[in-house]
Copies of this chain bind each other. A is one copy, B any other.
Amino acid sequence: MAKKISRNTFLTENSPSISAFASITGEKEGSGPIGSCFDRVEKDSHFGQDSWEKAESELQKQTVELAIKKAGLKSADIDCIFSGDLINQCMGTTYGLRDLNIPFLGIYGACSTMAEGLLLATLLTDSGLGEHIAAATSSHFSTAERQFRFPLSYGGQRTPSAQWTCTASGAVILSPQGGAPYIKAVSIGNITDLGITDANNMGAAMAPAAASTIKNYLSDTGLTPDDFDVIVTGDLGTVGSQLLKELLLKDNIDISVQHRDCGAIIFDSEEQDTHAGGSGCGCSASVLCGYFLPKVQTGEIKEMIFAATGALMSPTASQQGESIPSISHLIHISYKI
């Protein structure tokens, strides 16, 4: 049973194992600097479907099925699944998972969804409430761009701080027993809003949430950045990453050596014209499952923080002049049990 050591942070008692993980992306993500790490790169951005939303559903379904297969299990072996996505009413998730017949708990954390699902799956697994609990999420460039910004065919100019929504999905299976990676601790985020109103600068909106969650976690545990090989954020991109480091430096926390951002890693901004980097629920989910977890599995990375961030905005809120609330949940992942 996990131990609550502060208002936000829980240390696990039995270090649940991420017993399987899978990632599938679109072709642009597969052509990026870390493209070879994903389990599968799909050339058909429609994933064989006749709408973008159905394409995202298919992407998430295939990724969850692949994680289950890699665990040597069947859908019927999964106790329950936590998932959500960015499309209105989480359509990518509900339509993607409806045929799998797995007890389903829908979550909404925008681009923090992978961390939120991992967090809840960790608390249930560590409390002995499941043998195989799954967490997943997805995003698709074509569903997100047209919902949050402009019609795809409009071809609007993108600002330098804009990010590129990844067509990608990641899924994990948590188990009480199994090999590395292990989850040592989780920390729930609080909603943070410093007044950013620019929907084309979500990195800046989300950086304060990541800074707050990372700072709280280090303070709660007495750990320092030097205790980690990497401190990974979700999709702050280049603009938000710089801001995160500056914010933490004000509290004398220097993560410049350890910090990596999934949104900054997944694309070559210059070559791929992605401006400030990748974004979307599937960005951090696929980079976690494709790039980082295999390195923890082999011991190349021994201790890591995964702090995905979510911009909890909606186009309606932006049109009403509202600022963008954000949240960041944190997972401490380790090579050692």
Contacts and interface: CB of A to CB of B under 8 A. Distances in A.
Interface of A: 1-2, 4, 7-8, 10, 51, 53-54, 79-80, 84, 86-91, 94-95, 97-98, 101-110, 116, 119-120, 123-124, 127-130, 188-191, 193, 312-317, 320, 322, 325, 327
A336 to B, nearest CB: 24
B190 A101 contact: yes
Contacts of A101: 190-191
Contact of A1 (B89, B110, B127): B127
A51 B321 CA distance: 11
Contacts of A315: 88
B189 A104 contact: yes
Contacts of A119: 105
A36 B106 CA distance: 33
Contact of A325 (B94, B312, B313): B94
A183 to B, nearest CB: 15
B4 A94 contact: no
Given A8-B103, A105-B116, A110-B89, A94 B316 contact: no
A278 to B, nearest CB: 19
A60 to B, nearest CB: 13
Nearest to A54: B320
Contacts of A116: 105-106
B317 A188 contact: no
A317 B127 contact: no
A4 to B, nearest CB: 6
A82 to B, nearest CB: 9
A325 B98 contact: yes
Query: Which of A86, A89, A104, A120 is packed against the most chain B CB atoms within 10 Å?
Result: A89
B90 A108 contact: yes
- Per CB-CB distance, the 6 closest pairs between chain A and chain B, nearest first, are A89-B314, A94-B312, A103-B188, A127-B127, A106-B108, A98-B191
B4 A130 contact: yes
A124 B94 CA distance: 24
B103 A190 contact: yes
B320 A53 contact: yes
Given A98-B325, A107-B105, A127-B1, A316 B91 contact: yes
A107 B107 contact: yes
Query: Which of A103, A110, A128 is packed against the most chain B CB atoms within 10 Å?
Result: A103
Contacts of A4: 79, 128-130
A191 B120 contact: no
5 contacts: A98-B325, A105-B109, A106-B109, A108-B108, A127-B129
A188 B129 contact: no
Contacts of A193: 98
A317 B120 contact: no
Given A4-B129, A54-B320, A191-B97, A108 B107 contact: yes
Contacts of A98: 191, 193, 312, 325
